[in-house]
Amino acid sequence: MKKLTAAMVAVAGVAFATSASAATLDDVKAKGHIQCGVSQGLPGFSNADDAGKWTGLDVDLCRAVAAAVFGDANAVKFTPLSAKQRFTAIASGEVDILSRNTTWTMTRDTQLGLNFAGVNYYDGQGMMVPTSLGVTSATELDGANICTNTGTTTELNITDFFRANGMSFNLVAFEKADEVVAAYDAGRCDVYTTDRSGLAAQRGKLTAPDAHMVLSEIISKEPLGPVVRQGDDQWFNIVRWSLNAMINAEEMGITSENVNATKYNDVTPGVARLVGKEGNFGEELGLSNDWAYNIISQVGNYAESYEANVTPLGLARGVNALWSDGGILYAAPIR
Amino acid sequence: MTTPHKYVRTEDAPLLPPPATEAGITGWLWQNIFASMSDFQSLGAAIRSLFMILFSLLLVYLFIDQTYGLIDFAILSAVWSDPEGLKREVCWTVQQGGSLPDGWHGACWPFVWAKQKFAWFGPYPSEELWRIYLSLIVGSIGLVWALRERLPYRRQVGVLMLTLYPLLAFILLTGGNSDASFTGIGVWIIVGLALISVGRMGAAGHLGTIFAELAGIFGIVGWGIIALNVVRGIVAVDFNLTPVGTGDWGGLLITLVVALTGIVASLPLGIILALGRRSEMPVVSVLCTIFIEFWRGVPLITVLFMASVMLPLFLPAGVNFDNLLRALIGVMLFSAAYMAEVVRGGLQAIDKGQYEGAQAMGLSYWQTMRLIVLPQALTHVIPGIVNTFIGLFKDTTLVSIVGIFDLLGAGQSAIADAAWSTPVQAITIYLYIGIIFFIFCFGMSRYSIFMENKLSKSRRH
């Protein structure tokens, strides 16, 4: 291995100039774009469209940070990462933000040298069953065959759930999501379980989508959010407040369409602070004062991003609605 | 005139066609198929024949069934176009809310057409695609020219394809203008020149016997450094092209880049390693053996994981280099080790008399190898070499698990697009990818057969 490492380091030295990373913001400004780690393809969150352009809720978060830093939502490059690679990529500085539907857990937050800058989607593991099964609650599933992916927490969650309820079950696990859906569609199992966003996304692959229903039980908490390296508080703040700005904008009713009007009109003090007419909140972050204005005008508020990316999957806002609309989305105020 | 014979044949007996069991299609069928299942002379033979009939019918049925299934899926039942831009709904059955009959099962080609650009070039910016086209066109012309017989300047074109073309393709694809300092490059070139002159002086015997023996190595290292830095210099020139990082490469482009780099680098590296392993110098031989056995001892997937997941952890913070480059180097070293063993097989097949004859003619080691041994050895192992190439081409799909969008990775990412999600989405794109791989691998294997026939007509058995 030494030989491999030595050879690669040698090539690295020759091929690429190195830069020490002191402050991520300075590095990012020096290279002129943000490097954003995303998934290799997850509908609604980070997915390349027909032209190869990245879209999704996670992608919009990176674009928002780019808009805040550079005033240009396109000053961002995306690195598709596998689940195994993602933490190495962020820890080694290969990417500046990891926005890859990553569940915020205590281990990840405390042991990996990483920080979660917030939650941009509250997911949870759900179960899909054929309507013909006549089941209305997950507690009626004793002895069921369950299709799921191998090697993920979904497998552990479902085991916990069945054990906690004293029920037996057979696990039918596959490597790829497509295989799971195909097996479920072919009737090899009674239940298909994965994150609820995933259930919604895969539904279109069933031969008779309307003949299946998602049970109301949510058996795990999966708060998904952007990740940054530990020890760079300024960058952490920029990412956290970019997300908060999007959520606050929705709460105040500021959208990409009406944000320009706020520049000229008299607005409430809260809105004035958000769009940079009052105070110097941007400067405190090391950015310009119209940072949030740029985010809202170029990327939109949280609702706009959600409706463009997640709503087409057939996922209602649910718990991801604002706290004032009965959800749990709650951003700290800008003041 | 009378004759004592009752009958005299006055013309030749007519030439009868051979019996139906011996000639034509019937004959072929009889000899190769039906003869083995129509022997009912004894009980044993009859049972054998019956089994043959049953198995044959079963195989014929399976063959027809599968072939028809494939043709039906890919052509007859397939949806070919999506004029109204309905996306997934064009491939939906009534049950799903579309217009196709329930139970329909066919390829959804509009999905592939929509993902065509992504599958071929990944997220490469659309307005810069001409750069890929240009390098592909230059590459294919050069390749055909170098491989085709009876064209003038074949050898020269071949050399250009191996030296200038990669440079051109690199600059076109990335945009050049890498941030290397010209001062640094200058310093390195001076170091290279110094090494070469030390080598020259050593060879001339000015620096003592040890230097005289190492002179060659100094020369090689010196030239290597100079070549590397000239390349660095050229790559650092600003050609006024928009830079496109390798993160924006994808699809077939990545597959070709990885496969071609592996193929082009593995043969010379493999030859050197094979010669090194058979060398009589113990240090060289042991080093080469260790290298080969090490790389053969780890699976490619481990190499890729090591390169993309572990390596960044060993490097100091902030130092990172291209994900694709890491994978490329891994693939290159890995395939070189396999190639070395293939070439070594060829070297072992060369008769000792060939070496002795060359020595008797006064040829040096390198001359012997270049003029006598390698041409024969490589011809012997063409099937093995092409085997390794084809294997390597297919192994490139492994890079998709380390987050590089090769053809397969791009396809899998396309499957995740909810705008096209249908039950046949995955099968369609896998079929498409399979066809592309088949075209490339089959092409390579045909070329290898052609080369074998050409080079070893006298030796075929």
Q: Which domain holds residue A145?
A: 125-220
Contact B412 A205 (CB under 8 A): no
| Closest by Cα among A115, A102, A99 to A56 | A99
> Looking at residue A33, what DSSP letter applies?
S
pLDDT for position B460: 52
Average pLDDT for runs of 10 along chain B of length 461 = 75 82 79 78 88 91 94 89 83 82 87 89 86 91 84 85 86 79 83 84 72 71 85 81 82 91 90 91 92 93 84 69 84 93 93 92 88 90 90 89 84 84 89 94 89 69 49
Which phi and psi angles does B379 have, rounded to 5°? -60, -40
Alpha helices in B175-281 (DSSP H): 182-203, 209-236, 252-277
Is residue A69, in this structure, part of any structural domain at all? yes
Cβ atoms within 10 Å of B230's Cβ, excluding its own: 15
pLDDT for position A114: 93
Task: Indicate the number of domains in chain A.
Answer: 2
Contact A80 B405 (CB under 8 A): yes
A299 touches A64 (CB < 8 A): yes
| Closest by Cα among B391, B392, B355 to B372 | B355
Both A32 and A169 in one domain: the answer is no
Both B344 and B287 in one domain: the answer is yes
Contact A93 B329 (CB under 8 A): no
Looking at this predicted complex, what is its ipTM?
0.76
Q: How would residue A18 be classed by pLDDT, with cut points 50, 70 and 90? A: very low
Residues from chain B contacting residue A308 (CB–CB below 8 Å): none
pLDDT for position A16: 37
Chain A residue with Cα closest to B178: A16
Mean pLDDT score of chain A: 87
Both A97 and A208 in one domain: the answer is no
Cβ of A210 under 8 Å from any chain B Cβ? yes
Smallest CA–CA distance, residue B211 to chain A, in Å, is 26
Residues from chain B contacting residue A42 (CB–CB below 8 Å): 416
pLDDT for position A22: 59
Is residue B13, in this structure, part of any structural domain at all? no
Cβ of A41 under 8 Å from any chain B Cβ? yes
Cβ of A132 under 8 Å from any chain B Cβ? no
Smallest CA–CA distance, residue B342 to chain A, in Å, is 22
Residue A293 has pLDDT above 90, yes or no: yes
Residue A10 has pLDDT above 70, yes or no: no
- Region A171-194: mean pLDDT is 88
Smallest CA–CA distance, residue B102 to chain A, in Å, is 9
Cβ of A11 under 8 Å from any chain B Cβ? yes
Is residue A7, in this structure, part of any structural domain at all? no
| Closest by Cα among B383, B384, B385, B410 to B396 | B410
Contact B415 A209 (CB under 8 A): no
Is residue A137, in this structure, part of any structural domain at all? yes
Both B172 and B211 in one domain: the answer is yes
pLDDT for position A5: 42
Single-letter amino acid code for the residue at B350:
I
Q: Which domain holds residue B445?
A: 51-124+424-450
Both B82 and B108 in one domain: the answer is yes
| Choice among A12-21, A202-211, B30-39, B209-218 with the minimum mean pLDDT | A12-21
Q: What is the pTM of this model?
A: 0.80
Q: How far is CA B238 from the centre of its chain?
A: 33
Cβ atoms within 10 Å of B264's Cβ, excluding its own: 15
Chain A interface, mutation test: which of B332, B417, B430, most A Cβ atoms within 10 Å? B417
Smallest CA–CA distance, residue B335 to chain A, in Å, is 14
Residue A15 has pLDDT above 80, yes or no: no
Residues facing A129 on adjacent strands: A213
Contact B118 A82 (CB under 8 A): no
Cβ of A112 under 8 Å from any chain B Cβ? no
Both B393 and B440 in one domain: the answer is no
Contact A40 B321 (CB under 8 A): no
- Region A183-204: mean pLDDT is 89
CATH number, position B256:
1.10.3720.10
- Where a domain ends, among A220, A235, A251? A220
Task: Indicate the number of domains in chain B.
Answer: 2
